[in-house]
Amino acid sequence: MTQRREAQRLQEVALLLREEDDVAVARRSLEKGTPIVHGSQTFLLKDDIPAGHKLAVRGHRVGEPLRKYGQIIGFATKDIAPGDWVHTHNLGFGKGEGSGEAALQPPLEFCTEGAGLVDYVEEAERRLFKGYRRADGRVGTRNYVAIISTVNCSASTVRAIADHFRGAEALRDFPEVDGVIPLIHKSGCGQHLGGEDYKQLQRTLAGFANHPNVGGCLLVGLGCEVNQPDALVHNTGLVPADRIAIGHVEPPPIFVIQETGGVRKTTLAGIEATLKLLRRANQARRTDCPVSELIVGTNCGGSDGNSGITANPALGLAGDMFVRQGAGWVLAETPETYGAEHLLTRRAVSREVAEKLVALMRWWEWYTGIWGATIDANPTPGNKKGGITTIYEKSLGAVAKAGSTPLVDVYPYAARIVKKGLTFMDTPGYDPVSVTGLVAGGCNLIAFTTGRGSCLGFKPTPVLKIASNTPLYERMPEDMDVNAGAILDGVPIEDVAREIFEALIAVASGKKTKSELQGLGEDEFAPWTLGPVM
């Protein structure tokens, strides 16, 4: 005989985010056969529903759209009844509201000059942090020396140079320096000379060499590669931020293995050059700087069904606080904005900015299509296990990181970010590649949300990790910096947003993140490889 279960009110066991939504999100794991009371109706759960997953609150026929966040997240592939578990077995990807000309239709309330639409904090009242003021005027939150490989063929040499400076004893005489980092990658040759892949790699490497968190750098090449070090300096106008002097500019030191006499000799020469860079970098001191000097990049990885309810919206509110301070706030991961871009284009300061974003969506449709893929392949197995079903659902939750201020510009991958306020950078959704582009663009902080437990760190830019649920935060306390899951326990989202805001300012002033305390962040440097390898 089946035991009769006690009826549960929907609002006590699940979150209905909008009255017009067709699904609610389970606060905890729910058992099959549980009666759910929603308004005047009572329905039984047809399946066990894991925490973070969706249950239907109204019925749908095959082909009908279902809504969450008040937006379409997919289309029924089977008939769905109230109480059904809604996931990959009955909800599919189709043509949604976000992509195409619909994203450019009215209301375009912000498609005018955006000035005045942000309630800026008076300059005299803006917050300060302790940062490294560079000669070009930008401000760093860290002070690293970078050894940069122009091609994978010089990667081992670069790592050998950096390995010489491992440990506190090696840097004992340089207390103002955070470390010596090797920036190595798998590219630099087998490219079309002058092609888009070549230009993008050079832009990325130059962005790190000239980053405000880098107090000095040197370049190491092999000698016969496509991406020649001297061409990198010439094509990008590369002059590190700490090496601009009145009346002249000085490029970074360059070592070419084939010209220097081999790996061992290049390693020794690189060590001597690095010592000189360390002495110079060690002269930097933290001073009071306005928060308006910060550029914060955002990313989400290992998202779950709670990411778009807790961590991402809280981070978006924190972003609004930074924008009000005059800072930069950057959204990225273009494939994880697909289907939700209309929420950004309607906040663009001009139609031109809106069209840039829509053009990216068309390019990504083409780019994935030439490999026989679709953008809806993006939700990972971990995303789906955590409750995310389609790219629309993932994107609608991810775009919450953008907060509510006007979109002022859209940048190519790794392009230098020059405008403050909310901007967008074209990157893949893959975390290391996306964050590489953001840091190359000048982001001196990264705020990273996760529902499954991504452990990403990234040198030279510190990464603050924000958990979307309390079980994750309690299970991985050495990796998660902030618990946005407290929102599900009744803590106001504004309080969590303020906690994120204050935590980022503290990190900007030198407080180490959990990933920094573990020494993570050297192996995540991963420039986006676009074209064919020849």
Which residues, at least 6 apart from 188, have a Cβ–Cβ distance to it below 8 Å?
149, 150, 151, 152, 153, 201, 221, 225, 226, 227
Q: What is the C-alpha to C-alpha distance for residues 534 and 532, in angstroms, rounded to an integer? A: 6
Q: How many CB atoms lie within 10 A of CB 305?
A: 28
Local confidence pLDDT in tens for the 534 residues of the chain = 345 678 899 989 998 888 889 999 998 899 999 999 998 899 999 999 999 999 999 999 999 999 988 888 889 999 999 999 999 999 987 755 455 444 444 434 444 444 447 999 999 999 999 999 999 999 999 999 999 999 999 999 999 999 999 988 999 999 999 999 999 999 999 999 999 999 999 999 999 999 999 999 999 999 999 999 999 999 998 876 555 544 445 789 999 999 999 999 999 999 999 999 999 999 999 999 999 999 999 999 988 888 998 999 999 999 999 999 999 999 999 999 998 999 999 899 999 999 999 999 999 999 999 988 887 766 778 788 888 778 888 888 899 999 999 999 999 999 999 999 999 999 999 999 999 999 999 999 999 999 999 999 999 999 999 999 999 999 999 999 999 999 998 899 999 999 999 999 999 999 999 999 999 999 999 999 998 888
pTM of the full predicted structure? 0.90
Strand order in the sheet with 139-140: 139-140, 128-133, 286-290
Q: Please check whether residue 167 is in contact with residue 134, taking contact to mean a CB–CB distance below 8 angstroms.
A: no
DSSP-based three-state secondary structure for 35: strand
The interaxial angle of helices 263-281 and 155-163, nearest 10 deg, is: 50
Strand partners, 450: 467
Q: What is the C-alpha to C-alpha distance for residues 479 and 174, in angstroms, rounded to an integer? A: 28
Half-sphere exposure of 195 (CA within 13 A, CB side): 14
Q: What is the C-alpha to C-alpha distance for residues 413 and 411, in angstroms, rounded to an integer? A: 7
Instruction: Please report, as a single letter, which amino acid is at residue 296.
Output: V
Q: How many CB atoms lie within 10 A of CB 123?
A: 10
Dihedral pair phi/psi, residue 363, rounded to 5°: -65, -40
DSSP-based three-state secondary structure for 253: coil
pLDDT value for 290: 97
